[in-house]
Structure 1
Amino acid sequence: MLTLPAGTMCALVGPPGCGKSTFSARYPASWRICLDAFRLAATDSEADQTATPVAAEIQNLLLDARLARNLRTIVDSTNVMPHVRAGLLARARYWQRPTAAILFDVPLATVEIQNGSRDRMVPLHVVRELHGLMPTREQLLAEGFGTVYSASELVSAETV
């Protein structure tokens, strides 16, 4: 587990099936904000993408509530699109909170295998498209994330 300073907004960045939710499950449930959970609450299906706008509104409301209280928050969604990350960073800046990102730099072949073993598989073309949108560490830093970790480095550090 990473030690995140109080009030940190930590965005997980990676395609479906890369291990974001497994990673976030290591942290207290109250820290985690997950779009899948909000889609499930709205439609009885985590996979119902028509609920994403509502899920994003709930995410933003909870993110603001937690940041206003200086609470650590892990944003568990793909966050591969620049405009989505920009919105998260804007909220953290508004509340003057530290930011971090964890880049799930998992090879596409591994992501495809992991996605295939999930109860809720995401269509392969979507996984490939989102994997292709992955930013680099340098991009995330340039966007304004204060700290960027790569999942591969975190995993290798755990096995030492």
Structure 2
Amino acid sequence: MDFISDIFSNRILMSAFWGWFVAQVLKTIIYVVVNKNFNPERLMGDGGMPSSHSATVMALVTSTFLTYGAGSFEFAISGVLALIVMHDAMGVRRQAGKQAVMINNMMDWFKELDQDIPVEQKLKEFVGHTPLQVLFGAILGIVVGAIVISL
């Protein structure tokens, strides 16, 4: 039972969790407002505004900084991890989403031509982020990390 208690009392871990959770809820609300429909996949899915990946790692970085300071190895590790995650969200994952859109369009086009091409399911198009989505996720993570550590 100490393990579970330790996890829930770990403010740095809880900062990262709350950064992710708040971003996912905001992402779902923004999706509903913009698209006028609820998509439950948005609650757990990738992509969209704000970036939950960025919010998670920046809450981790912020809470680590506030707990251990800028000179700590914990801060160094979390900072490098955050840079990698946010760079990947804007780079490789964003390009994968663009490719998924193109491939899904091609599959639809082949279906219209009655081509016999096996299609199991469409590819996920929401996988990456624009720089603005990453920026807002990072800002959200900083705010959430600071709030959780201050409680």
Tell me, yes or no, whether TM beats 0.5.
no
- Structure number, greater radius of gyration: 2
Which structure's residues are more often helix, by fraction? 2
Per the normalisation by structure 2, the TM-score is 0.30
Per the normalisation by structure 1, the TM-score is 0.28
Which structure's residues are more often strand, by fraction? 1
